[in-house]
Amino acid sequence: MVLAAVLNIGASVMNGGAGTGSVDFFHGFQVAIMMTIMFSLVQFIYWRCSQTRKGSCWQKHRPTFLMLASAIMTNFQPMAILAAGSFKLICCPCSNFGDDLECTPTGRSMPPWTNADGSPEWRTCTGNGNWFWAEDHCDGSELALFPNKASGWVIQIVLTWGGFVVMFLAVMEAMQLGKKIKNKWRTLRAGR
């Protein structure tokens, strides 16, 4: 997980900036690593709970369900950034694409696709940027290390960081570390 976060920083500070092949590659590579690690943890916790816990499905696999929720939460932001970068999902003023250009009826477009004849295919939008960044990131000159919109911060704090908290709780419960620490403490206290 740390490796995936480091790769994201590496992708953000590459010389070419957003939209270059290296940045797109690292965003995809980060998603692949995060998904592999998190869903492998889900499998490990499932196996561990199947071997060591008894009771109803919820009693036996509560840590598994928590870890699955954590895997989904922590992978939401990298997947959303990968999709936004891959499909150029950022709503910008038409002026970002040429001098005084009226590309769509709303005066706003996502970066255009290129038709077979080389002409731009404009994509009408009405927003301001995307979930993570406002339209000041449209020209690609700003490094997109952290979100600059409230929705981006909510995604980062609630989903990503919250997902890591849920992961910690799931692993603690699956490994029964609370009970093990309590028993060790009683043993140490009784030995004095």
Segment holding 93, helix H or strand E: strand 92-93
In a domain, 19, yes or no: no
- Residue 128: pLDDT band (50, 70, 90) is confident
In a domain, 55, yes or no: yes
Q: In this model, does residue 48 exceed pLDDT 50?
A: yes
14 or 92: whose pLDDT is higher?
92
Structural domain for 76, as ranges: 31-88+142-190
Which residues, at least 6 apart from 57, have a Cβ–Cβ distance to it below 8 Å? none
- Long-range contacts formed by 8-16: CB under 8 A, 24+ apart: 8/78, 9/145, 12/143, 12/144, 12/145, 13/143, 13/145
CA 173 to chain centre: 24
- Residue 137: pLDDT band (50, 70, 90) is confident
pLDDT for 10: 56
Number of domains in the chain: 2
- Residue 136: pLDDT band (50, 70, 90) is confident
Specify the range with the lowest mean pLDDT, choosing from 24-28, 126-130, 159-163, 183-187. Answer: 24-28
In a domain, 13, yes or no: no
User: Do 146 and 185 share a structural domain?
Assistant: yes
What mean pLDDT is reported for the chain?
Answer: 85
Output the pTM of the full model.
Answer: 0.78
pLDDT for 15: 47
Which residues, at least 6 apart from 55, have a Cβ–Cβ distance to it below 8 Å? none
Residues 170, 178: contact at Cβ < 8 Å? no
In a domain, 8, yes or no: no
Write out the two tokens for 41: 């943890």
User: Do 95 and 50 share a structural domain?
Assistant: no
In a domain, 163, yes or no: yes
In a domain, 133, yes or no: no
